[in-house]
Amino acid sequence: MTQDSRKDQTNNLILNSVIGFLSVLLLLLLFALGTRILYPRIVNERVVEDPALISNVIQMEVLNGVGVSGLANQFTGTLRQFGFDVVETGNFDHFDVPNTLVISRNGQVENAERVAHAIGIDERFILREESPEYYLDVTLIIGNDFENLNL
């Protein structure tokens, strides 16, 4: 065997290896494309009961205005099932709040109205208190009427 024929064999081996690798890659891409066409992605639905409540995420805090131990934490789970993002819970500054209040913090009263509608609060208990210091959309202060709410 001459040196030129050995060099040609090596070049042919490398070329055949690259062609084989690219062929396998092409087959994998065609398989992935076929799979995507036959089995499209399924869109997850966050809430089945009333998806109208969730068009965008409402961040809120829940404050206990009654003094019942752990009340704000109990309501947090239900509010999250409704699709609201409860980012903070705690106690209000006093415990004699007669009616549950929804406070709009960012100027979009629609968010407060959606929270009030979801838990069954009359619109006259929606307040507006804007401040650039608040990073939340809504504050919910649980009052003595908490047993009548949709929670």
HEC secondary structure over 88-100: EEEECCCCCCCCC
Give me the pLDDT at residue 42, please.
Answer: 61
- How would you write the pLDDT of the chain (151 residues) with one tens digit per residue? 577 777 778 888 899 999 999 999 999 999 999 888 888 776 544 444 444 444 578 899 999 999 888 888 888 888 888 889 999 999 999 898 999 999 998 888 898 999 999 889 988 999 998 877 778 889 999 999 988 888 7
Helix ranges restricted to H, 66-122: 71-81, 109-119
Q: Is 64 within 8 Å of 96 (Cβ atoms)? A: no
Q: Supply the pLDDT for residue 64.
A: 93
Q: d(Cα 51, Cα 45) in Å, to the nearest integer?
A: 8
Q: Which of 85, 88, 79, 93 is nearest to 121 (CA)?
A: 79
